[in-house]
Each structure stands twice: as structure tokens, then as C-alpha cells.
Amino acid sequence: TPFKIENGIRVDDTPVHKALREALANCLINTDYYLPQAVVVKLSPDKIILENPGGVRTGKKQMLKGGISDPRNKTLMKMFNLINIGERAGSGVPDIYSVWNHQGWEEPVVEERYDPDRTILTLPLIEKVAVKSGGKTQ
């Protein structure tokens, strides 16, 4: 983990750390706690998977676009905001995609499952594979 010194204090908070906090906060804030399933976080060497009960209230397309926030648990969101975690503007997911792109990692994947409703965010930790077109790498 790279770090820097600011005012004599070590700061090792990277954009990836911030994006991961945002992803976990979104997972918890948007969980439907009335459903019997649990929040699940899976870590493997090549990806992190965050799963929560409940569908995406704004719709997957809008969530990926950003700009509209409709948290299922507003009080939990407020608690995270008080400790400077989580966005209020609906820009959290697009920001996560941006950080992953900047890192050169494969694009995150949002999946919705139904019966029971479940939202799954997969964050690959592997580099994008260059696509060859006409003998040239892009």
C-alpha cells in the first residue's frame, strides 16, 4: 500500500480504499433487512464480491449512471456520512467504476437476482486484458 506523509502523519488512504469503503457502505445502506438472507462479503485473490438482500431501488441502469440516490436505510446512510463514508449524490457507484478503470482493472459487475431479491457487486482485482485488433494491441 503506497503512502505519503502529511503534516508529519502517515496517510495510506488510496482511491481504492475509498472506493471499497463506498462499496461496503452502499451494500449495507441498501440492504433490505426485512428479507431473511444476509449480507455476504467474499474476498479472493482476484476479486471482492459484495452481496446484499434487496434489489436496486433506482434500477441498475440509473445506479450505474449516477446522479439519483434512493437509499433503503436513510438513518444508516446518515451514520456513515457522519464519519465521512458514503456519497449522498448517487455518485458512489460511478466513482467506484472510475477508480477501477484508473487502476487498469477489469470493470466491476453489478448483478441483480430475483426470488429472492439480491444485489451482487463483483470488484475484479485483475488487470484488463488488452484486445488485439488487426494485429495491434489496443
pLDDT tens track for 2-37: 667 878 777 778 899 889 999 999 999 999 999 999
pLDDT score, position 102: 95
pLDDT tens track for 92-118: 888 999 999 999 999 999 999 999 999
Angle between helix axes 15-29 and 92-103 (nearest 10 degrees) is 150
Q: Where are the domains of the chain?
A: 14-137
- Give the predicted TM-score (pTM) of the model: 0.83
- In 46-116, where does DSSP find H-type helix? 60-65, 74-82, 92-103
Count CB-CB contacts under 10 A for residue 100. 20
Best CATH choice for the domain 14-137 from the list 3.30.565.60, 3.40.640.10, 3.40.50.720, 3.50.50.60: 3.30.565.60
Q: How confident is the model at residue 43 (pLDDT cuts 50, 70, 90)?
A: very high
